[in-house]
Amino acid sequence: MTPKAKKVPFKTHHHGHERVDHYHWLRDENWQQFIQGNLDFKDPDVETYIKEENTYTDITMRETEALQKELYDILVSRIKEDDERPPMKHGEYYYYSRIEKGQNYRFRCRKKGSLDAPEEIYLDENKEAEGKGYYSIGTSLRSKGDRFLLLSENNTGSMVYSVRVKDLEENKYLPWTIENNTGSVCWCADFEHIYYVERHPVNGRGQKLFRMNIHAGPASKELVFEKPDELSNLFFDLYSSANKDYIFLNLLDTNSNEVYYLDGKDPKATPKLFWKLKEHTIINPDFCEGSFYIVSNENGLINNQLFTCSENHIERENWNELIEHSETHFLEWFDLYRGYLVYKMTNNELALPELYVYDLLKGETREISMKDAAYSIGYLGALEFESPTVQFTYQSPIAPEEVKELDLASGRTIVIKQGHCPNFDTDHYEVERVFVPAHDGEEIPLTIVTKKGFKRDGKAPHFQYAYGSYGMSMPAYFSSTIFALVDKGFSFSIAHIRGGADKGYQWYLDGKMLNKINTFKDFISCSQWLIDSGFTAKGKITANGGSAGGLLMGAISNMTSELYNSVILDVPFVDVVTTILDDTLPLTPPEWNEWGNPIKDKEAYEYMLSYSPYDQVQAKDYPHMLFNTGITDEQVTYWEPTKMVAKLRELKTDQNMLLLKLKMTAGHAGSSARYKALKEKAFSYAFALKAQES
- Known catalytic residues are 547, 633, 668
Burial class (CB in 10 A: 0-12, 13-18, 19+), 40: exposed
| Nearest to 475, CA basis, from 557, 375, 614 | 375
Q: Are 611 and 513 in contact (CB under 8 A)?
A: no
CA pair distance 415, 407, nearest whole angstrom: 12
Q: Are 134 and 155 in contact (CB under 8 A)?
A: yes
CA pair distance 263, 77, nearest whole angstrom: 50
Q: Are 563 and 622 in contact (CB under 8 A)?
A: no
Q: Are 308 and 318 in contact (CB under 8 A)?
A: no
Q: Are 492 and 462 in contact (CB under 8 A)?
A: yes
Contacts of 465 by beta carbon, 8 Å cutoff, 6+ apart: 474, 492, 493, 494, 495, 543, 544, 545, 549
Q: Are 209 and 185 in contact (CB under 8 A)?
A: no
CA pair distance 518, 502, nearest whole angstrom: 14
DSSP 87: P
**Could you tell me whether strands 541-546 and 564-570 are parallel, antiparallel, or unpaired per DSSP bridges?**
parallel
CA pair distance 332, 507, nearest whole angstrom: 13
Q: Are 553 and 572 in contact (CB under 8 A)?
A: yes
Contacts of 550 by beta carbon, 8 Å cutoff, 6+ apart: 569, 570, 571, 572, 573, 574, 636, 641
| Nearest to 466, CA basis, from 555, 562, 543 | 543
